[in-house]
Amino acid sequence: MIVAAPAILQLLAKSPLVDKFDLSHVKDILVGSAPLSPTLSEAVKKRLPVKYVRQGYSVLIEGTATFVSVPPNTERVGSCGKLYPSIIGAVKDIETEENLGPFKNWSIML
């Protein structure tokens, strides 16, 4: 597995240096630190033998670890996944601080 930021995936997708290395053992990529575009995700999957490029989310100041990620062997483009076990979280409206909860319109956060 590779754990990397989108900038590293940009390198993996486009750099001619990648062709000098055997990356056939890489089967999974977990991306963090910034959102990953669907275009970049597809470019990496065309270049490397990976089926899934997953996203994760963490708050480094408070947690120093990932709190949310898309589970292994799955892919949800545009999603950073589900909370890890024992993690409690809430999605809030950034203006009213109201809890949005599941299945509500989260477009105000985008």
**Which range is least confidently modeled, 4-13, 39-48, 64-73?**
64-73
Closest CA to 68 of 87, 53, 51: 87
Side by side, which strands form the sheet with 2-4? 2-4, 28-31, 52-58, 66-69, 82-83
Residue 10: what pLDDT? 94
Residue 59: what pLDDT? 56
Give the pTM: 0.62
